[in-house]
Structure 1
């Protein structure tokens, strides 16, 4: 519904159905503009009347949230002709992290500057959500949108709060939701392996999803992949994520039902500099733990803040004649700086 005519409008906004910039289970998203100002907005249009009811959950969540790293809901208007409710949201010019990874220069993952911004921006968003008692419950690359500043810096913003839940009173929830490639092992088991399992879930599920999302952003592909793909062999996928060691950051299976091979380091072909890899490996490992040793949000936000404050230096390695990026602690002495470089690369 609402997509039959090439140009659609509400009282204050207009959009073309060919300008679709995203789609989900319940809606399509278009690039539209304000009639008078010409300012661009993201116009979220339900697929049907039933979908409109499903989107009410996201609307309720977004109207109570206000943070620079969370996509804003500006208005709700009715589409002229169909009467369908239309959600007018912040327009993020760079798309999502998923679409950013489709750019040729990001084929092997995002580069340092974007990864550091992603770490910091999502840490800030999750800290805010925690302070108001929300869990997102569907963190993934497609649900992190990217806006660009006037100086060319990317800002990362959490979006799609249709699965979010207010859990301030209990800190727990029971319902199953999320995207399976990024699900915490306990959620995955109950959703796809044994529906009769009981149990409640906490914000730890968001942190696992964030770890898988960060790994995807660094690797350029999903971190855990059975031979036939996660959705064609869910038993192998569950085995892969539930049996991994705390030090493992991604896993692969090269033959049907074959041996699962885990990796503990970011591969050399990725775009992340050598100087940043160790920090990222530590963060991803900490988040991708399905047990009591999993990092808390406080631990993650501290480490994300620490990485943001590191000072980048370009170093020429004499042996290989290669330039490498090294990240030093603020106010680090020259002596400690040189020792750190030797410890990492020589």
Structure 2
């Protein structure tokens, strides 16, 4: 849309002319803005010199616009009072519409970046919006008859681009017979029956719509876009029923095809679906065009097929072994295993060796369906999944560069051959697209390399956590073993000191010696020095510092910019300079891009191989650490069992000692025989001499006072010694019982 400067005279009340948007057969369109509210409107003004027939069409367009209400059809607005009297003829009304700031589709297609078609997501959005608008018009019994990129405008709404149909000046309301005979519309997008002046129906919009879609996909119209209409009609009418394109080759031969020509930006799955749809709606015979009406829904089959295509979800998988992108239609409930089986068939990578990563480095969760990953995305921008082969020793060795288009291959081989301006324009456009494709190909693979690095860091993080856990367990085990060994050695030392005068047991002594030896062996399970030698931290740091790990596509971007400038210069040449010329300059850039791409690919593959090798080391190290951790836990359980056995042995010794202390008199005490003294009940802690009652003395000694007193004194002394020994044993038992033995109970419970 052309824009011109606005003068102070272009003001009507509070409305100021801001931009002249364009002109057509009926008049011109300008954008006006309110000075205070900043509201913007597109106002279409009718030409003074319109014929009576066109004046009628003008009024009809306004009437149609005022009663339409659809998000993909530009809506009408109220004409400001200040403009009604000052703009346009007195007898013809003005048409005010919503202003769409994104320009029209022609401007998008004319962008050099879209010389070989728009991006896949943009193509799908355009198809969806335009199809919705066309169906709405047909449902309201209106044929547009002039669908073309200039009559489709773009508006940004809720962070999404909306495509809207405008200019219903040639639209016609269907009569009862649903047939029309007037010849209207732009020739390049005109259905054959309109060109021939035959009767027509809504299927004329099918042809125009399909032509626009084809141009969005490839960057040019399907059937000989630069040929004179009469010659065009004579050749194209000979096309086959399923042919959707006619191309003039370098030798001037005309070639028909039923496939979408390369290059374009669609994935193979979507390409196949749209080829089938285009074959249906680009049918020369209007009675067969669109596939007829579905009896169940009453809707055209062509739009039903298109709805299915638009609802379908496609998963893109970048094979990091070959560099190819694999595309799969995915159902919402489809499992990850089903995807693995497809990849095993197409990528020839065994299921067990497949590693699927998102761009975040996270592996696909087998518990989730594939469709759940696609549902997280908005619009037609689907996530890329990266496929790695775990068994590859040198990954990336078989990565293939993007295929060179035939036309680009021709000018590379024949760079000095003189071509017409249109031939050069098409060839240079494809050459620029190929250079951009090389840069995008490397960028995708570098993103896959980044995903591999993030996956490596995630595995290393898990390894670090596991290693820290193993180290803590090792330290704890060593401390427990050392304490246990020290305790056992102390027991052995004290046992040896009392064996000559106290309790002895060779079986017990041997058991404690075995415990000490077994505990010493348990220390070996906590030794992680062998695993420390296999640490991969230094390798990871080296990979992160590698210059190849960072963005390296600048050299390709520079070549792409030069190719774009060269292509733009060719397109903008004045008509008088559009003669024959060679392709030497563009071919130099193509060869340079291919060489640089090959160099970058070798560096990327080398780094990727190191990343995957390092990851394999970590993957192999993890089970060893887990095994060591489990052995250390088992050693702790064994140590607890040894401690329990040792405690039982100690309590057995105490039991034996207590039993002997009750049964055997103290050493050196006399045997009194029949004169034994009855047992005394002594309060705890009492150790003083206790006098015996006189009734317990032997009667034969009662009369002899001196001797009797000596015997009594000796007996009291022996009794005092016995009581003191018993008290000491009781005190020792009390001291043992007062200790905290809860840890033993807890250990026993854990062991059970």
TM-score class normalised by the smaller sequence? 0.7 to 0.9
Partner in structure 2 of residue 309 of structure 1: 311
For the 8 Å contact 1:185–1:290, the answer to whether it is kept is yes
Partner in structure 1 of residue 276 of structure 2: 282
- Alpha-carbon offset, residue 109 of structure 1: 1.2
For the 8 Å contact 1:10–1:79, the answer to whether it is kept is no
Q: Secondary structure at the match of 1:118?
A: helix
- Mapping of 1:1-346 within 5 angstroms? 6=7, 7-11=9-13, 13-16=15-18, 19-48=19-48, 50=50, 53=55, 54-77=57-80, 78=83, 81-84=86-89, 85-151=93-159, 153-190=160-197, 199-225=198-224, 229-230=226-227, 233-254=228-249, 259-291=253-285, 292-295=287-290, 296=292, 298-318=300-320, 320-323=322-325, 325-334=327-336, 337=339
Give CA deviations for 1:72-122 in whole Å, capped at 9, x if unaligned.
111235356455454221111211211111223322111121221222212
Q: 1:69 to 1:46 in 2, by over 3 A?
A: same
Which stretch of the first structure deviates more once superposed, 37-46 or 89-98?
A: 37-46
Structure 1 residue ranges without an equivalent (≥5): 191-198
Q: Secondary structure at the match of 2:28?
A: strand
> Aligned residue pairs: how many?
328
Give CA deviations for 1:110-151 in whole Å, capped at 9, x if unaligned.
112122122221222122212211111111111111111232
Q: 1:109 to 1:170 in 2, by over 3 A?
A: same
- Alpha-carbon offset, residue 293 of structure 1: 2.6
Q: 1:221 to 1:341 in 2, by over 3 A?
A: farther
Q: Secondary structure at the match of 1:163?
A: coil
Say which structure, 1 or 2, has more relative contact order (CA 8 Å, 6+ apart).
Answer: 1
Q: Secondary structure at the match of 2:204?
A: helix
Larger radius of gyration: 2
Q: Secondary structure at the match of 2:193?
A: helix
For the 8 Å contact 1:139–1:182, the answer to whether it is kept is yes
- Alpha-carbon offset, residue 336 of structure 1: 5.6
TM-score of the two chains, using structure 2 as the length reference? 0.40
Partner in structure 1 of residue 667 of structure 2: none
What is the rounded CA distance, in whole Å, between the counterparts of 1:321 and 1:204 in structure 2?
42
Q: 1:45 to 1:82 in 2, by over 3 A?
A: closer
What is the rounded CA distance, in whole Å, between the counterparts of 1:250 and 1:342 in structure 2?
35
Give me the CA root mean square deviation.
Answer: 2.9
TM-score of the two chains, using structure 1 as the length reference? 0.83
More strand, by proportion:
1
- Alpha-carbon offset, residue 279 of structure 1: 1.6
What is the rounded CA distance, in whole Å, between the counterparts of 1:320 and 1:247 in structure 2?
33
